[in-house]
Every structure is written in C-alpha cells, then in structure tokens.
Amino acid sequence: MDKNTTHLAGEFLVAGELSRRGLSVSITFGNAKSVDIVAQSQTNTYSIDAKAVRSKSNWPLSRASVVPTIYYVFVYLGSERKIKNGESAEYFVVPGTELVKKGLVSQWAGGRSGVTYKALSSIQQGDPWSVFK
C-alpha cells in the first residue's frame, strides 16, 4: 500500500470513529490543506490532523509543524496480514499542546523527527476519543 493510500485510510477511519461517536465530520481534500478533518460536537469544533502508518515504528512530524490548537490522531493501521486477520486499527489522540509539553516529538538519526509508537503507547490511558466532547 502506498503512502497516499495509507494516509487516506487513516483519515477515513478517524472520520468514521468520530461520526460513530456522534460528531459531525467534514474531511478536507487537497495537497495544501492545513487540517485533514473538521469535527463538530454539540459544544465544540475540532481541527484534526490524522497520521497513519502500517508498522509500529513512527510517524514523521517536526516540532516546528505542531499547531497547539490541532488534535493529532495517530493511526496504526497494521500490516496486510493483521488486516486480513480482522485486527482493528489502533488510535492515539493527542492535542497539539500535549505533543510539545510531554516531549513526544523526538529527534531521529539523519536530522528527521517524529513521534514513536512506543512513546504514544506509554501515555495512552482509557478511551482515546474521550477528548472529543
């Protein structure tokens, strides 16, 4: 599965979960968009950046690109084998302010940076979707 297909799968899965939980959802399309999804509850509007990967490694992201007012949803889709076996995607929901505050964006070799599966799984507690009220 190529990069664009992986990213779209993540966006649609996140939009589906938010809709399932009663939020009104709009997916934005295009290459120059600032957010992937806009979701609205009875009382709040959320800007969401969905980031999807197929392996439990990391999601590329620079500290400079983190926007405090955006919610970042990191999706681990799983391998094709896991998907064929009916295993569900895993989700990690982190407000932009928390990404920076908790130091979740780390520097990697070669000057790249991002968020690791290990870092997200170590802070995940309870229902990741509970921030959307």
3-state secondary structure the chain: CCHHHHHHHHHHHHHHHHHHCCCEEEECCCCCCCCCEEEECCCCEEEEEEEEECCCCEEECCHHHCCCCEEEEEEECCCHHHHHCCCCCEEEEEEHHHHHHCCCEEECHHHCEEEEHHHHHHHCCCCHHHHCC
Q: What is the pLDDT of residues 77-91, one digit of tens each?
A: 988 888 889 889 999
Q: What is the CATH number of the domain that holds 64?
A: 3.40.1350.10
Q: What is the pLDDT of residue 4?
A: 67
Domain, as residue range, for 126: 3-131
Domain count, the chain: 1
Q: What is the pLDDT of residues 105-126, one digit of tens each?
A: 998 888 889 999 999 999 988 8
- Asked if the model's pLDDT at residue 61 lies above 80, the reply is yes
- Asked if the model's pLDDT at residue 66 lies above 90, the reply is yes
Q: What is the pLDDT of residues 4-29, one digit of tens each?
A: 688 899 999 999 999 999 999 999 98
* pLDDT tier at 34, thresholds 50, 70, 90: confident
Average pLDDT taken over every residue of the chain: 91
2 vs 30 pLDDT, higher one:
30
Q: What is the pLDDT of residue 12?
A: 96
